[in-house]
Amino acid sequence: MKVKIHNPNGFNLPPIMIGKRKYRINIEEDQKVKNIINTKLLLNNDFNKLYSKILEKSKAVVFYFNFKEDDLKHILFISPIKKNLYEEEYIKLYTALRKARHPSRIRIKYNKNNEEKYLLEVRKNSYKAIKKRLKDLNRQIENYINHFEQKKGIDLNILSSSSVYFCKKCNKILSIDKFKQQKCICEEEITRVSQTEQMPVHHFNQNVINFLEYNYWLEFAIDYILKRKNLITLIGQEVLGNSGVCHEIDNIVYCPNENYRFFCECKNSEVKESDIFIFSGKMIDIGGNKGYIFTTSENVSDKIKRLARSKNIDIIENVLNKDLNSLLNEIKEV
């Protein structure tokens, strides 16, 4: 990350050294992420529920896209829990695959002489269960979007579409988005597209998943509110402190009429005492004396609010359930 001097024209303030990490820039430049930001609905409760549900389903889709043969063996023959995979979906799949392995679903009786054929039969049923799960996830995601669009009278272009290639013989996922010649696990030589079945799956891409999971969405939602007050803003910058440490600051805000600058922290969780001390420490190190914490938490304790005020930090709570005018009134320029 490269840092640069930031000292906007018209302000008589000490300059700050800022920079933004490449992975963050890549997320923000993704067109689907831009489309979400441009809806200007990030603080709309219904929209928040919509993308939260699609996020959950999209993570499950990615889970299956990255599914490996070793993962299948693990689920079928070892354990329903594996920490480095998406656990909730892992357990759902475990349940489905244990049914797929049930003797009543296997046409070949197991014995030592036909072990390979028996395992292939188990795999076929397992791949069929995975294919069905992907179809279900795609159907749910499309229904969520369609219902919201019909209700709000808008058109949302926030989903990506992946073409999944399945082996016609055993239903194993062969590739995503691009056909590839290969020898399948069922010994079929896949040399033509006609040997595969293609299925489109709609989901959030990885940049959108990161944008939502890392709570960048809230920083852009608050940025929209700040700009409605004609404030000059920067989002997701890292600021070099006097200590030589770079601090990530969610929103940097300049007040043109007051020759003033303040900093914001955005939290999609409960505000704790440690959050106040950490944010206050950041401000001291980068030369700030006024801050805001915006939180989706509905009830911040009086004790936390008093502590924040002692550090010249205002807390604006319950941001998802307040109208625009209420939020604007709570933000003081000085």
pLDDT, tens digit (0-9, with 9 covering 90-100), for 236-245? 999 999 999 9
Where residue 248 falls (left for φ over 0; alpha for ψ -120 to 50; beta otherwise) is beta
Q: Are residues 109 and 220 in the same domain?
A: no
Q: Are residues 10 and 114 in the same domain?
A: no
Residues 286, 173: Cα–Cα separation, whole Å: 51
| Domain tally, the chain | 2
Q: Are residues 245 and 318 in the same domain?
A: yes
Q: 306 exposed, middle or buried (CB, 10 Å; 0-12, 13-18, 19+)?
A: exposed
Residues 209, 260: Cα–Cα separation, whole Å: 35
pLDDT band at 97 (very low <50, low <70, confident <90, very high): low
pLDDT band at 282 (very low <50, low <70, confident <90, very high): very high
Beta strand 291-295 pairing with 313-316: parallel
Q: Are residues 40 and 184 in the same domain?
A: yes
Residues 242, 263: Cα–Cα separation, whole Å: 16
Q: Are residues 192 and 220 in the same domain?
A: no
Domain extent at residue 72:
31-204
pLDDT digits (tens, 9 = 90+) for 320-333: 999 999 999 998 86
Q: Are residues 49 and 156 in the same domain?
A: yes
* Torsion from C-alpha of 244, 245, 246, 250, nearest 10 degrees: -130
Q: Of all residues in the chain, what percent carry a pLDDT higher than 90?
A: 72
Encoded tokens for 28 = 């923000």
Q: Are residues 49 and 198 in the same domain?
A: yes
Q: Which residues pair with 175 in a beta bridge?
A: 165
Q: Is residue 209 predicted with pLDDT exceeding 60?
A: yes
Q: Are residues 61 and 167 in the same domain?
A: yes
pLDDT digits (tens, 9 = 90+) for 285-322: 999 989 999 999 998 999 999 999 999 999 999 999 99
Q: Are residues 279 and 152 in the same domain?
A: no
pLDDT band at 124 (very low <50, low <70, confident <90, very high): confident
Q: Are residues 20 and 93 in the same domain?
A: no
- pLDDT for position 117: 65
Domain end, chosen from 183, 204, 225, is at: 204
Residue with tokens 């070099």: 240
Residues 26, 92: Cα–Cα separation, whole Å: 33
Domain end, chosen from 204, 232, 251, is at: 204
- pLDDT for position 110: 47
Q: Which residues pair with 292 in a beta bridge?
A: 264, 314
- pLDDT for position 83: 47
Domain end, chosen from 186, 204, 222, is at: 204
